Amino acid sequence: MMEELTTYGAKTEKLDFKRVVIISTLPIKLQFESQEQFNQTIFRLINLKFNLGNDVIDRIIRYPLIESIPNQELGVKCLVSFYSRVYRDRVISQKNQLDPPTTVDAITEPPKELSGEAEFEAVAAPTNFE
């Protein structure tokens, strides 16, 4: 059976790059927590570091663990989709609030690891105004 990667929210709508961040280098123990515990950890992180409530998050997708390295302490990643790009922009602008080595970044292309789990809206190509 394939692991359910979406831990919070529904897979009914495509994700918008302008509303999504990737949180990386989280403790490896989060990979083995239940979906509910994982979600609560991410909600708490977003609330404590960026002062945003749970109600601004549309979807959380935990990356699958690609390879396990013995005694690995860090390496879990997740996508967080917000209801508005304003919240995403706030998180990105305050990303230095996170304690290293955890990072948060915007994404520009669909992550290969989430193929089939996370569909993204097509990004329109820039118009050539010649």
Domain boundaries in the chain?
A: 6-114
pTM of the entire predicted model: 0.83
**pLDDT at position 38:** 94
| Strand-pair partners of 57 | 82
pLDDT digits (tens, 9 = 90+) for 78-104: 999 999 999 999 999 999 999 999 999
Whether pLDDT at 67 is above 70: no
Which CATH code, of 3.90.180.10, 3.40.190.10, 3.30.70.330, 3.40.50.10300, is assigned to 6-114?
A: 3.30.70.330
